[in-house]
Structure 1
Amino acid sequence: MIDRFLKVRENSEQLCKPLITEDYSVQASEFVSPPKWHLAHTTWFWEEFVLTKYATAYTVYDEDFSFLFNSYYNNVGTRVLRPSRGLMTRPSVNEVYKYRKYVTDAMVAFLNTNLNEEILAIIEIGLNHEEQHQELLVYDIKYILGNQPTFPVYENSFKTKAETQEENFIKIKAGLYEIGHQESTFCFDNELGKHKVYVGDFEISNKLVTNRDYLEFVMTGGYQDFNFWHDEGWSWVNTNKIEAPLYWYKIDNEWWNYTLNGLDKVALDLPVMHISFYEAFAYSQWKGCRLPTEFEWEIASDQLQWGQLWEWTNSAYLAYPGFNKSPGALGEYNGKFMINQMILRGGSVATPEGHSRKTYRNFFHPNMRWQFNGIRLAK
């Protein structure tokens, strides 16, 4: 447990190694959190939910940090509003790293004591929580750097690969299937409530949609034809003057996109990424197909090569039968977000190793596209 804890803590800091000090406090959009905030928030989580509750004689590092680095836990108390995270020049980056070491050292000492099952369960949530923030940290770093006028290079190990298998649609027969987490391993509460669903015959693509595929949609006027779009999506396209995926730029009649390696020509054989649900749906309509439901995706997952990009489904984020929120602050973790969000399944190249599974239910608002996501078609 100690080795795993230290590995997770170290990974958060390694993700920030390529940054300069000025990068740490930037909030390039309301939905982006500064890297400094991620480092402090994931530290506050251990302090708030483990050390102050269970470690004897633990002294809080700084009483103000709960207000500064709480995210959305109303049960814990008031907090800095999300749009204001980038206004905090204090504490300094150096102070945040001191805070991390202070809490990490205290956690290692605590992990060397006898821990009961209740505490171990909270520690498991804490590890997965920090891993979630590591992926968000990659998204946010890319958004911060991708909005710099010089498109800086980050030390990029988060590269997608071209899928080489011949494209075809896998046929799945109608039937009653069991959905939800069924193993004794860790999962989040929104994966629980094992239940049966009936699905009709369907087919699902064995490949993600490529940049080449999506570019055809762009070039043939897909963003100008309302027939392919939800009304809300059409309004989003026109209000925000959307003409292509996030980070795509047309320069001298050629399409380029910002990657963590800087500005490159769009690689046609790579999976298209940084797509909103609105765009994924519109593309599927243009192709005469649809997006799979999350149940269809889970049923077919053992026959798919998934994990490069989170995949939009046509399922709203709702509770499974029998879902119950845990009492207290940790009960706010998933349940209160079950409205106006869509499910993504799978994982991405930015997902920490071992963090995802086929029952994992990621969720975002349909307009969000800074996460590493893509499209898989169904019919």
Structure 2
Amino acid sequence: MNRNKDLIINTLLPIIALSAVIAFHELGHLFAAKLFGIKVEVYSIGIGKKLWSFNSKNTEFALSLLPLGGYCKLKGGDSNNPNLDSDSMDSASPIKKIGIFFAGPLFNIILTSLLLIIIFMLPVHRNIPTTVIPLLGQNLPAEVSGIKMGDRILEIDSRPINNFSDISKTILLKDYPLEVKILRNEEIKNLSITPINSNGRLVIGIYPFIPLKVLSSRNTQIQKGSTITAINGVNTSNYYNMLEEIGNNVDFTISYKNSHGEFTETFTRKILGDLEFLELFSYNPITATLYGFSKTVDMFKQMAKMLADLFKKGEISKSISSPIRLVYDIGTSVDNVYSTGNILFTIETFLTIMASVSLALGFINLFPIPILDGGQILINFIVMIKGSPLKPSITQGYQMVGLLIILLLFVVGISNDIFYLGDL
């Protein structure tokens, strides 16, 4: 059973997620091509040998052998033997070609927004009210700046902080020193903190305070209204301290109290998914839609800023990875959450990762690199400004440069993944 679970979560789910994101990207090209009257010869989910296909409206829809990819083959596109039929890509105007190439990344952005809207409509934990800090990441900005456990954050850069979500929103895209006002033992202190980049997002290294009073329970022993007081005999008063004490242990003791008395019993990690310490909350469709689009814009800005920072620091080569690493990271992240037994949280995590991958695919495809959509957009923009087609030799040379860049990135990505996975 565990082997089947590992296969599904660590392999099949990541592959399905990646394939779905790529398929939606190619669907954008198909939609735009049909809109502009360009024939789509083949739309395939996966690459390689076709396993199954059917024809509809002059297009072959196929499911191919290798799921990590997909393609949308348009009529024409051979610079050595151009097809000048009216429904060929070769006869399309530059503005139509730009629209077709841009539609792929655009559909990825739309998919990201749709996934985020679904996430905001899920009944999960949101808006943790407290701004008290129960736990600090070691050697991270908050600890280095002098913040201590038990401090309450009042303001960041003169912006009032009312709940933990305000902290994340305030530091978004800000990698410069921030003035932080805290309350410690009834005394107000002012500190300076500079967020750092961690796995694509800016962090300062603090965790929210979540009291260990059980608000709902699917466990027959630790019932609603109980308060957890210790893990493995170590006193704890908040959720993240509890997780720190549990660590990677499969079995552990929990001390808890309720109206019937005080108890200490042994549990497995499944108990983590049976207990709720925060009320579940979901947004209505209209609010979720607004938040979904807003979050997409914020994520896009953060990706652009992160890329700029990597170039500035000369660390761009270290950040490149291949689909192998992506599949591993997706599987590991989902598996870690699934192990707690919280199905809703697992779904939210999977959809969040899928949204991030979709936006990243759209973002990267806008790069002005030959072969990528951004490179094709650049070529057709030049043709539109120039008023005449580029020489075939120039176009072919440009494509060759793009192919070499992609091959180089692939080799660097595979090399980085070998070292990364080898260190685990």
Instruction: Give your verdict on TM over 0.5.
Output: no
Q: Which has the higher strand share?
A: 2
**TM-score w.r.t. structure 2 length?**
0.27
Pair member with larger Rg: 2
Report the TM-score when normalising by structure 1.
Answer: 0.29
